[in-house]
Structure 1
Amino acid sequence: MDLLTLQEYWWFLVSIIGALFVFMTFVQGGQTLLYTLAKTEDERDLLINSLGRKWELTFTALVMFGGALFAAFPLFYAVSFGGAYFVWMAILFCFIIQAVSYEYRKKPNNFFGERFYEVLLYINGSLGIFLIGVALATLFTGGNFVLNDMNLSHWTKSSYGLEALFNPFNVAFGLMLVFLSRLQAGLYFLNSLDEEAITQRVKSVVKTNFIMFLVLFLYVLVTILISNGLVYDPKTGIVSVMSMKFLHTFLDYPALLAVLLVGVVALLYGVYIALAKNAHKAIFFTGFGTVVTVTIVLLILGIDHSVIYPSLADMQSSLTIENSSGSHYTLSVMAVVSLMVPFVLGYIIVVWRSMDKTKLTIDEVKSDSHHY
């Protein structure tokens, strides 16, 4: 494959991994529902142990997302993770406290008490996911960085990424992911728990969070379609502004629009059968819809000569899949390695099915001396 094909291939993989991570954030969403769905300590233990079976998969997906960006698009990784330093360090801190909480919440002679670690889980599920949404939104809105002729970058704002919190689109994107994670968490509990008292409360949680998610999703999607975007000339590399860039991308690639609609319909159908028919398998429809939709939203940044990371300080410093990627040799070698990804996903699916073969109960949690 030529270099551009490899760059597009790797951006596609990055988009899929990012979408899988967004789906897996139902773990974080569930952590924010501990005191909404559970009214007793036994019920909270049940929820936490159900999530505890999956939290490492979410963390792994986040690491894979960052690792794929680092390996395939090192300049993008350096500019974003090094420049928007405060935002990414806050995200890292939110995920560190998650790991600590699952490890120590039920330790004997717990100095801080269980409630302390449950608060940390809530912070991870709310602030952590919100900040990740803000960081992803900057792929559309941009960051305050400048590149020199040696591809060395510096951030032009002393807030180092925190200024993104003042952009309404970024905030809406972050909140959208929070409500999506809570929605998915409710459906996950519906599918994985055998506790009538909890599952009866799920429907109202799903309905409330779906309404909030839908409003924010429509705002984000419409904003993406009608806003100006940046494009680059593949011959000269010069970046310019294009009116309604991503709407034109969908018109140029109608298949992408069709796939996006399939994802949205699948998500809506999953919510419908959960609310109207009390279907316990609804998360498989919403999960599929989430992965497809997020993949397309991220993918459009890397095709049709779009800019993947606009510079707000100097438009010509903006990053594309061409000027921020690794070498042809690096991408080629990693493309061979990437052929192992389906086997890894297959292993995850087998393990998932094994863990969720039977629904989790309070009695099962109590009988396990090593539960979370």
Structure 2
Amino acid sequence: MFENLSHLALQQYWWVIDSLLGSILVFLMFVQGGQTLIYTIGKSKTERTMVVNALGRKWEFTFTTLVTFGGAMFASFPLFYSTSFGGAYWVWMAILFCFIIQAVAYEFRSKPNNVWGAKTFEAFLFINGLLGTILIGTAVGTFFNGAEFTVNEMNQSRWANPYGGLEAVLNIHNVALGLAVFFLARVLGSMYFMNSIEDDNIFNRSKKQLLVSGIPFLVFFLFFAIRLLVMDGFAVDTKTGVVSMESFKYLHNLMAMPVVAILFVVGVAGVLYGLIKSYLAQKHTTGIWCAGGGTILVVFSLFLLAGFNNTAFYPSVADLQSSLTIQNASSSHYTLTAMSYVSLMVPFVIAYIVWAWRAINNKKIDIEEIQAEDHLY
């Protein structure tokens, strides 16, 4: 079946899969957003334990999706992986460090004889929630604004400066996306608390955070989206493969792919509906599903804008012709074919995640459960 597809069709297929994994990852970062709200939502030790344990039920989903996304990108687009991870190593090492201390925090926060105290590990969770979201969002911003690298004829990449990718934070458009992801994660985290914890005080504080975090999210996201649609983009000539700058490139991509435009608009509407309904309604607890689904659609459409319609998905601002596309950065036809058969297992994995999610969340966390629970995060 897959072996009969052209190389380009397989490249596009895997860009869609990688984009879907990336969009699910952004949704699941509600865990990171919630971690930055531990002391805002939880005013007592018991309330903080309820908050941490609500997040503790889901943190492995985020971690596993991050690893899966990275692995899929490595296997399907190895030149991107080697270029970005090999050159922008300080950024990726910082992201890796953030997720390592998250795993340590959930493992040891409530262990007996914890000499560091719970607050130390809660600080680890805050660092993961703050830096993890901003750095990942900023890194994804380079898909549109480019990075400083070169690639020679033997596909050997080299970073054009000694900063290891940290220079991405000097681009306001990259940072705007990073901050939009950060505040979106806090919004989704608040909705998750409203949905999974049975406590009026936590519910009311979470509801208040929808406005506190929702307004800056909308500001940063609108800035990023508007600038994206009016900026010059990195176009690829279909015949020669030459990369050049094109005015309003991403707006042209949106117009050329109406399905992507519909996904983007529906996604934005879903996020706004979930946010507004959760804040205005008396006791609305399911906003995370509408806003979460909208998040997946918006991020998915942004990835498609970056890689499809003859666009360089990882542009080089040091040498335009070193820019990476889904054609020149992908694995071989044989490798993509073999991987595509493995990808048929994805629906079963998703079904298992849904089943596990429902099984874990079949009862909301309350004070009685926390007091009676033997294993606490």
Q: Which residue of 2 aligns with 1:305?
A: 310
Deviations along 1:151-202, one digit per CA (max 9) or x if unpaired, are 0011011011011111101111111100000000000000000011110111
Partner of 1:203: 207
Q: Contact 2:229–2:249 at 8 Å: present in 1 too? A: yes
Are 1:160 and 2:160 counterparts? Answer: no
Instruction: Report the 3-state secondary structure (helix = DSSP H, G, I; strand = E; otherwise coil) of the residue aligned with 1:231.
Output: strand
Q: What is the CA–CA distance in structure 2 between the aligned matches of 1:4 and 1:138, rounded to whole Å?
A: 24
- What CA distance in whole angstroms lies between the structure 1 residues aligned with 2:148 and 2:259? 34
Q: Secondary structure at the match of 2:154?
A: coil
Q: Tell me, in whole angstroms, the C-alpha distance in 2 between the residues paired with 1:259 and 1:177.
A: 18
Match of 2:248 in 1: 244
Aligned-partner SS, 2:244: strand
| CA displacement at 1:134 relative to structure 2 | 0.8
Tell me the residue number matched to 1:118. 122
Residue of structure 2 equivalent to 1:86:
90
Letter in 1 for 2:130: S
Amino acid at match of 1:60: T
Specify the alignment match of 1:327 in structure 2: 332
Tell me which residue corresponds to 2:319.
314
**1:51-130 to 2 correspondences below 5 Å:** 51-130=55-134
Q: Deviations over 1:309-356 (max 9, x none)?
A: 010110000000000000001111111111110110011001111111
In structure 2, the residue matched to 1:279 is 284
Matches within 5 A, 1:42-53: 42-53=46-57
Task: Name the TM-score, length of structure 1 as normaliser.
Answer: 0.99
User: Is residue 369 from structure 1 mapped to residue 374 from structure 2 by the alignment?
Assistant: yes
Determine whether 1:191 maps to 2:195: yes
The whole-number CA distance in structure 1 between the counterparts of 2:320 and 2:40 is 46
How far residue 80 of structure 1 moved from its aligned partner, in angstroms, is: 0.6
Does the 8 Å CA contact 2:36/2:130 hold for their aligned counterparts? Answer: yes
Q: Give the Cα separation in 2 of the matches to 1:325 and 1:243.
A: 27
Residues 19-40 of structure 1 show CA distances to partners (whole Å, capped at 9, x for unaligned) of: 0000000000010000101100
Deviation at 1:125, TM superposition (A): 0.2
Q: 2:238 aligns with which of 234, 240, 243?
A: 234
CA distance in 1, matches of 2:365, 2:113: 26
2:368 matches 1:340:
no
In the TM superposition, 1:282-293 aligns within 5 A as 282-293=287-298
2: distance between equivalents of 1:234 and 1:71?
Answer: 24
SS of residue in 2 equivalent to 1:18: helix
Match of 1:17 among 10, 15, 21: 21
CA RMSD of aligned residues (A): 0.8
Tell me the amino acid that sits aligned with residue 77 of structure 1.
Y
Pair 1:216 & 2:220 matched: yes
Are the aligned partners of 2:312 and 2:326 in contact in 1 as well (CA < 8 Å)? yes
Q: Which moved more, 1:50-59 or 1:231-240?
A: 231-240
| Residue matched to 1:131 | 135
**Which residue does the alignment assign to 2:7?**
3
Matched residue type, 1:300: L
**Which ranges of structure 1 fall in alignment gaps of 5 or more residues?**
none
Where in structure 2 are there 5+ consecutive unaligned residues? none
Q: Hey, which bits of structure 1, 4+ residues long, moved more than 6 A? A: none
Aligned to 2:151: 147
Q: Contact 2:260/2:304 (CA < 8 Å) preserved in 1?
A: no
For residues 66 and 290 of structure 1, the distance between their equivalents in structure 2, rounded to whole angstroms, comes to 20
1:39 counterpart = 2:43: yes
CA positional deviation for 1:255? 2.1
| Cα distance in 2 between the residues matched to 1:239 and 1:134 | 23
Distance apart, 1:369 and its partner CA: 1.5
- The DSSP-based 3-state class of the residue aligned with 1:154 is strand
| Counterpart code for 2:276 | Y
In structure 1, C-alpha distance between the alignment counterparts of 2:121 and 2:258, rounded to whole Å: 47
* In 1, Cα distance between equivalents of 2:271 and 2:180: 14
- How far residue 235 of structure 1 moved from its aligned partner, in angstroms, is 2.4
Please state whether the residue corresponding to 2:303 is helix, strand or coil: helix
Deviation at 1:300, TM superposition (A): 1.2
Deviations 1:54-106 (A, max 9, x none): 00000011011101100000000000111100000000000000000000111
Q: In percent, how many aligned pairs have the same letter?
A: 49
Q: Which amino acid aligns with 2:170?
A: F
Cα distance between partner residues in 1 of 2:122 and 2:259? 44
